[in-house]
A and B are shown apart, each in its own frame.
Chain A
Amino acid sequence: MSVQPIDQFCKELKPEIKEALTKASIGSTVARQQSLDQAYPEPGKALHLRELANAIKSVNLADNLEKAVSSLERNNVKVLFAKDADEARKIILDIIKKKNAKNVVKVKSMTTEEIELNAFLGKHGINAVETDLGELIIQIDHERPSHIVKPAIHRKRDDIAASFQKHGIADYDEEPTHITLNARKYLRKKYFEAEVVISGANYVLAKEGAIVLATNEGNARFSMAGAKTHIAIAGFEKVIPSARELSVFLNLLGRSATGQHTTVYTDFVAGPGKAKNSPEEMYLIFMDNGRSDILASRFAEILKCLRCGACMNRCPVFRLVGGHAYRAVYPGPLGIVLSPLLAGEEFCKYADLPKACSLCGGCAEVCPAKIPLPSLIVQMRDEAKRRHCKIPNDVGFKAWSFIATTPRLWKFGIPFNRLANYLPIDKLRFGTLGRWLKARKLPKFKGGEFRKWFKKNG
């Protein structure tokens, strides 16, 4: 019987990384609660807002998408569609080539992580630099983000300083403000060099024909100041009806993510040439990449995700292992639902992920879009069964369900577990039960006693 990869990862992860992950995640969970309590002291108000966010995301997506396309085009945005990652990458590369561009700056975007854009562009001789500090840190070390909001949550300042030194960004200096300052100096040059800026979109406003970018570092604005071409890419589920509904999301996003009342910068980009020193040309690529299949499935709710990261901050499993354990771009409760689905044909490759959850329900309590994550997670387990995926260390229930539906066998079997009191099972150290008992002691079995008692005393 093999071991679950995430469990193995947990076993091997250095204690100081675990500690950093746990501390940062709990910190964000606490900050989230405090900021919501402060903003909405009336009982039920925050919940109401979350319900509203869910409801807004339920409104007819196809309709809104159509509206968005015509408003965006009215604003001179070139709208393109990509059915999968491959197509999205090609579209982006084509645009960059047409502009004869070599230098690209990037505004943190999980969608571009999803399509592994940086590596692809690198292969084609294009230098794409991440401008979000956390993303920059992991990019120079060729790592994947370990959290969707805080990509370098697993890193400590001394090793970041060492990395900066190694890659010639700055001399070793582990003082956090100096790390930031050094990154800023390094990035300034990049902003000037860049011909193209690539961003995601936190929201696409259908009525106004604009995209909204929420950042904390102002890097989106800097990126747009130099580059002449802006390419934005978004899953089509990012469309919301209008700026009116946006307030619900802006009030929830920062608070849910980090406990800020809003992110420091909220940029509205409604087409090229609207502001001084801004790109002359703008593209928006709506990407499907498995989303329409999800929309048509029993997992459609997961498309309401705002990518705030609150669910992972709250998750007892994520807190111990961080994002890399999940082998996919989206980690935590969100990821264990979304990643296997996005993998399409390769669903089974990630079918173990939904198992990595004790169903504690913490994620559903914090999700600003009120996505019923635990319910989706168990249904993903069912989905894996339906697709006949093989999952390491899985437990079978066929024999058990047979006994549990046959009272004669059940009643007959139950008193016999008392035998276990006389057997040395407590000393077992092999097999599933053995592994379980290595860390836990069982109380005495008293099978059948209650039934006997009830007959006399009930």
Chain B
Amino acid sequence: MTPPDNRITGKKINFMATCLCDAIFADAAECSVQILKKFGCDIIFPEGQTCCGQPAFNSGDFESARKVIMHTIDAFGGNDYPVVVPSGSCAAMLFDSALIAFKDADKPVFEKVAHFARRVWELNDFLVNALGVEKIGGKLKARIAVHNSCHTKNTGTPEAMKKLLESIDGVELAQYNADGCCGFGGTFSVVFPQLSEEVGIKKVDNILACKPDIITAADTSCLLHQYGIAKRRGLEYPAKHVCQVYVEAMKNGGLL
């Protein structure tokens, strides 16, 4: 997943909650907004937004995906500000996969999608590489295992997240192979329950072996899957979206 060149930046932004935050992880979305505001962003939340189209795209239903992507582009069409997303995979869907879905489209349509791609940012990538944020600061005494979600490969997200987490006083990042897939893959986990579960168990065991106080990621979907697998096997799994970690640290440090 490679973000496009010439990305659109600025402090006036749109926030895209993603369907998972809309339905389940309200806390992650709230913390994301708090963090963005703290770093000076003026946030618009277009009410017409729904989902990025990833479930259909990944399943190869490009027709449905195109409809949802177009809907999203139109939902954010009221302005030309950046669209910040608290999820690496939803962001990658809109700045990379969308271009594949519209590959054969007419030129003006494709260009509309390509232009929108330049507006879309994953939140950590946006903070560090668009706004130039150097640190989160604050305090949090915790050993943290980071999961780099597969869709953030080749993007600025993993480095940005590492930098921000390391800027928190008391945080210790667990060393392990952070890039392994957790077996979720959206509908993959539905269509291939056995494979997905076995890959997931490996990932969860791998993470729990580092004895973390917190497991974090820039994607709620991976955490949902890992949490689900661990819980079903009776294991504790203290998973939090990375913005929840940031908010906690800043609150502890009296910064929020």
Report if A and B associate in a common complex: yes
- A interface with B by C-beta (< 8 Å): 4, 6-8, 10-11, 298, 316-317, 320-321, 354-362, 365, 375, 378-385, 393-398, 400-401, 403-405, 407, 410-411, 414, 417, 432, 435-451, 453-454, 457-458
Is B103 in contact with A298, judged by CB distance below 8 angstroms? yes
Chain B residues with CB under 8 A of A442: 224, 228
With A7-B194, A359-B185 already in contact, the answer to whether A440 and B225 are too (CB < 8 A) is yes
CB contact between B51 and one of A317, A404, A417, A437 (< 8 Å): that residue: A404
Is the pair B57, A378 in contact by a Cβ cutoff of 8 Å? yes
Once bound together, how far apart are the Cα atoms of A448 and B24, in whole Å? 9
Specify which of B19, B43, B62, B185 is in contact with A458 (CB 8 Å cutoff).
B43
Q: Specify which chain B residues have a CB less than 8 angstroms from the CB of A449 in the assembled complex.
A: 26
B59 touches A397 (CB 8 A): yes
Residues of B within 8 A of A6 (CB): 192, 195
* Contact status of A385 and B103, CB under 8 A, knowing A10-B198, A440-B228, A454-B45: no
Say yes or no: B30 contacts A457, CB within 8 Å. Answer: yes
Q: A397, B55: Cβ atoms under 8 Å?
A: yes
List the B residue with the shortest CB-CB distance to A408: B48
Are B191 and A394 within 8 A (Cβ)? yes
CB neighbours (8 Å) of A432 from chain B are 190
Give the interface size class of chain B: 35 or more
> Does B95 make an interface contact (CB < 8 A)?
no
**Nearest CB of chain B from residue A223's CB, rounded to whole Å:** 39
B150, B192, B225: the one within 8 Å of A4 (CB): B192
A411 to B51: give the CA distance in the assembly, Å.
11
Instruction: Please tell me if the beta carbons of A357 and B185 are within 8 angstroms of each other in the complex.
Output: yes
A357 to B196, CA, bound (A): 9
Complex CA–CA separation, A403 to B26 (angstroms): 20
List residues of chain A with CB within 8 A of the CB of B33: 454, 457-458
Please provide the chain B residues from 46 to 63 with a CB less than 8 Å away from any CB of chain A in the complex: 47-51, 53, 55-63
Q: Which residues of B are interface residues toward A (Cβ below 8 A)?
A: 1, 15, 17, 19, 21-27, 29-30, 33, 43, 45, 47-51, 53, 55-65, 67-68, 70-71, 75, 97, 100, 103, 150-151, 153, 179-181, 183-185, 187-200, 224-225, 227-229, 231-232
| Residues in A neighbouring B22, C-beta threshold 8 A | 414, 447-448, 450-451
Q: A361-B150, A446-B24 are in contact. Are A384 and B60 (CB under 8 A)?
A: yes
Q: Are B183 and A458 in touch, CB under 8 angstroms?
A: no
**Could you say which of A397, A447, A458 contacts B23, with CB atoms under 8 Å apart?**
A447
**Nearest-neighbor residue (CB-CB) of B184 within chain A:** A358
A378 near B29: Cβ-Cβ < 8 Å:
no
Chain A residues whose C-beta falls within 8 Å of the C-beta of B15 in the assembled complex: 454, 458
Q: Would A355 and B56 count as touching, CB distance under 8 A?
A: no
Cβ contact within 8 Å between A404 and B53: yes
Q: Quick one: given A382-B60, A404-B53, are A358 and B68 in contact (CB under 8 Å)?
A: no
A411 touches B47 (CB 8 A): yes
Contact check: which of A317, A403, A436 meets B190 at CB < 8 Å?
Answer: A436
> Which residues on the B side are within 8 Å of A381 (C-beta)?
58-61
Closest B residue to A395 by CB, please name it.
B187
What residues of chain A lie closer than 8 Å to B19, measured between beta carbons? 404
* Contacting pair A385 B62 (CB below 8 A): yes
In the bound complex, residues from chain A placing their C-beta under 8 Å from that of B150 are 358-362
Which A residue sits closest to B103, measured CB to CB?
A: A298
Cα-based distance from A410 to B48 in the complex (angstroms) = 9
Q: Looking across the interface, which residue of chain B has its beta carbon closest to that of A317?
A: B195
B181 in contact with A358 (CB, 8 Å): yes
Can you list 16 A-B pairs, Cβ within 8 angstroms, ordered by A?
A: A6-B195, A7-B192, A7-B193, A354-B60, A356-B192, A358-B185, A378-B58, A381-B59, A383-B60, A385-B63, A435-B190, A439-B200, A439-B229, A450-B26, A458-B15, A458-B33
Top 6 A-B pairs, shortest CB-CB distance: A381-B60, A358-B185, A440-B228, A360-B181, A401-B64, A449-B26
B212 → chain A closest CB, angstroms: 18
Contact A450 B17 (CB under 8 A): yes
Known: A360-B185, A441-B228. A447 touches B24 (CB 8 A): yes
- In the complex, A379→B58 CA distance in Å? 9
What CA separation (Å) do A457 and B256 show in the bound complex?
Answer: 14
Known: A10-B195, A439-B193. 7 other contacts (CB 8 A): A298-B103, A321-B195, A358-B184, A361-B150, A397-B59, A439-B197, A440-B228
A360: chain B residues at CB < 8 Å are 150, 181, 185
B59 interface neighbour in A7, A379, A395, A439, Cβ under 8 Å = A395
CB of A10 within 8 A of CB of B191, answer: no
Contacts of B58 in A (CB 8 A): 359, 378, 381
8 Å CB contact of A385 from B61, B181, B183, B192: B61
A401–B68 CB distance below 8 A: yes
What is the distance, in angstroms, from B155's C-beta to the closest C-beta of chain A?
Answer: 11
Closest chain A CB from B2 CB (angstroms): 10
B206 to chain A, nearest CB (A): 12
Q: A359 CA to B153 CA in the complex, in Å?
A: 11
Q: Could you tell me the distance between the alpha carbons of A397 and B228 in the complex, rounded to whole angstroms?
A: 23
Q: How far is the CA of A435 from the CA of B193 in the complex (A)?
A: 7
Closest residue on chain B to residue A409 by CB atoms:
B50
Which residues of chain A are near B63, meaning CB under 8 Å?
A: 385
A356 and B195 contacting across the interface, CB-CB below 8 Å: yes
Across the interface, do B196 and A443 meet the contact criterion of CB distance under 8 Å?
no
Q: How far is the CB of B38 from chain A (nearest CB, A)?
A: 13
Give A442 to B48 CA distance when docked, in angstroms.
27
Residue of B nearest to A391 (CB): B191
Alpha-carbon separation in the docked complex, A410 to B193 (Å): 27
A405 to B43, CA, bound (A): 23
| Chain B residues positioned under 8 Å from A436 (CB to CB) | 189-190, 193
Residues of B within 8 A of A395 (CB): 59, 187, 190-191
Interface contact B100-A440, CB-CB below 8 Å: no
